């Protein structure tokens, strides 16, 4: 485990014995509400997000062909939203949240930001895949209140 400046990293050995699985899986735990920049080499990393949000910057999609980034809330979100930001309007996909949320299926159609609002809950998840031009997103939230504090795209 290495740590510093609000970040903790753990590497876990894959002992599943399953074929075609990587030997190591990296978990990056953001421990403070500090802005963070994802590097293109962090594909297949699980980013754990605490309850107080900040901005996470994605690398340019052209530098991330085939990359997958996964973000999960490790506590109910607090007073500050998490924003996952691309370098341009190249985010496409959909969020899924509770049926009584004001927007139960928010759509990203040429967006720049993925926002996990202050109503998001522990276990809410954002998965992002790059094809080298765009980022494709699927986001899940247990948020189920008729306001705008769940998953959104801008």
Question: Tens digits of per-residue pLDDT, 52-81?
Answer: 899 999 999 999 999 999 999 999 988 889
pLDDT digits over 31-49, tens only? 777 899 999 999 999 999 9
Our CA angle for 137, 126, 65, nearest 5°, is 50
Global pTM value: 0.83
Contact 153, 111 (CB under 8 A): yes
| pLDDT value of position 8 | 57
pLDDT score, position 32: 75
* pLDDT for the residue 115: 93
Contact 76, 122 (CB under 8 A): yes
Query: In angstroms, rounded to a whole number, what is the distance separating the alpha carbons of residues 38 and 41?
Result: 8
* Tokens matching residue 126: 């954002």
Summarize the confidence of residues 12-28 as an average pLDDT.
Answer: 55
DSSP H helices in 28-148: none
């Amino acid at each position: 485990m290495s740590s510093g400046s609000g970040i903790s990293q753990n590497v876990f050995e894959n002992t599943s014995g399953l074929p075609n699985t990587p030997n190591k899986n990296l978990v990056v735990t953001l421990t403070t509400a500090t802005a963070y920049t994802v590097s293109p080499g962090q594909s297949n990393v699980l980013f754990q997000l605490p309850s107080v949000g900040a901005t996470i910057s994605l690398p340019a999609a052209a530098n991330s062909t085939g990359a997958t980034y996964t973000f999960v809330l490790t506590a109910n979100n607090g007073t500050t939203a998490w924003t996952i930001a691309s370098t341009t309007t190249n985010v496409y996909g959909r969020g899924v949240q509770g049926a009584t949320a004001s927007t139960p299926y928010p759509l990203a159609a040429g967006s720049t930001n993925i926002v996990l609002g202050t109503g998001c809950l522990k276990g809410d998840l954002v998965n992002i895949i790059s094809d080298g031009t765009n980022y494709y997103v699927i986001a899940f939230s247990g948020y189920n209140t008729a306001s705008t504090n769940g998953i959104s795209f801008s």
